[in-house]
Amino acid sequence: MNHFNKTNITTSFHRKHYSHQYGLSLIELLISLFIFSSGLLSMGQLQTHALKTTALNLNTKQAIQLVQKIAETMTANSMATTPNSYEIDGSTTPNFTPCTPICSAQQHTLNSLSNWKRDIHTQLPEGEGSISKSGETYQIFISWSSAEKPVSNHCNTSQALTNKACHSYQVSIL
């Protein structure tokens, strides 16, 4: 007796082959791909921001070291700091003059300023430096170009409006 019922075969077939789903549907796959892509894009943006911040911090560190270097030189060569011997604007670079056999205080001042300006130009992108004097206090100022909007340290208004980062330092020589 062969009792084949059409409904039994159909339900048996559906239960047997379609009761458990295997794999991903196209919608699930697209959603997971979108989430994964968004994560990768965010990580890429984070990495780019980290690199820009690192470059700005490196330039700021170099500017601080250059300010400290000239401040120490000015303090060590205090005999040459009268009258206004260390004052220099951003566009002036004194010539280096070799000393034979020893440097006078004025030669040492000019050579120190020449080396300082050279270091600013070579270590900072579009770097500029100036020193001004008010009373007994010297104002040492360094600026450089920056891709990021910099955090200013006593920058003047024109510097703050451009993409120039700067560092300013006051030193009193007694």
The 10s digit of each residue's pLDDT in 31-86 is: 999 999 999 999 999 998 888 888 778 888 888 899 889 888 888 877 665 566 77
Mean pLDDT for the stretch of residues 114-135: 87
Q: Answer for the pair 142, 124: CB distance below 8 angstroms, yes or no.
A: yes
How much is the pLDDT for 167?
Answer: 73
Q: Phi and psi (nearest 5°) for 142?
A: -130, 135
Q: Phi and psi (nearest 5°) for 157?
A: -60, -45
Residue 157 pLDDT exceeds 50: no
How much is the pLDDT for 160?
Answer: 47
Q: Answer for the pair 97, 110: CB distance below 8 angstroms, yes or no.
A: yes
Residue 151 pLDDT exceeds 80: no
Residue 166 pLDDT exceeds 50: yes
Task: State how far the Cα of 81 lies from the Cα of 109, in Å rounded to an integer.
Answer: 8
Q: Which two tokens stand for residue 173?
A: 């020589």
